[in-house]
Amino acid sequence: MDKNEKLKALNDKLMEYERKLGGRMKGYRGVIHESASSEMRHQEVMVLKAMVADLKKEISKLSEES
């Protein structure tokens, strides 16, 4: 896989995860303690945020190499 194909694949994944994160953020008010579902939703949001950040970092690094 060459750099252009990899960049395109990473950008596609980034758009997908940003869309998922946007959907999860609707109505998100943070963690409501003593609520297991709220804590699980918070964990899911944090994982999606980390995935988006990592994808952006990888895209940036790959773009600089070009």
Q: What is the pLDDT of residues 17-44, one digit of tens each?
A: 999 999 999 988 888 888 898 999 999 9
Q: Is the pLDDT of residue 66 over 90?
A: no
Task: Using a pLDDT cut of 70, give the percent of the chain over it.
Answer: 98
Amino acid at 8: K
pLDDT score of 9: 96
CA 9 → CA 1, 50, 63, distances in Å? 10, 18, 13
Q: Is the pLDDT of residue 1 over 80?
A: no
* pTM, to two decimals: 0.86
The string of DSSP letters for 28-46 reads: -----TT-HHHHHHHHHHH
